[in-house]
Amino acid sequence: MRKLSTTQKAILVMGIIGTSIGLYGKFNGWEYDSYFVFFYTGMTLMWVAFLNSGKSYCRPFWKKQPQNQ
């Protein structure tokens, strides 16, 4: 597993907290509209923390540029 930057760690922690609030609400009988927002947002943030940074990105369907030597 690769090292996470400080920003990625912060996003991951926010995702864990949001997911925890959502699960807490689900098992304590909150209304669906109340807990689902926290749960869904937390799960999304946990996933986003592991995406590649904006410094490098993949363009799989673009033509490769000829490299001048």
pLDDT band at residue 7, thresholds of 50, 70 and 90? confident
Find the helix or strand (DSSP H, E) in which 17 lies: helix 6-27
How far apart (Å, rounded) are the C-alpha atoms in residues 9 and 28? 28
Ordered DSSP codes for 53-66? PTTS---TTSPPPP
pLDDT 10s digits, 46-62: 888 887 766 555 666 66
**pTM for the full predicted model:** 0.69
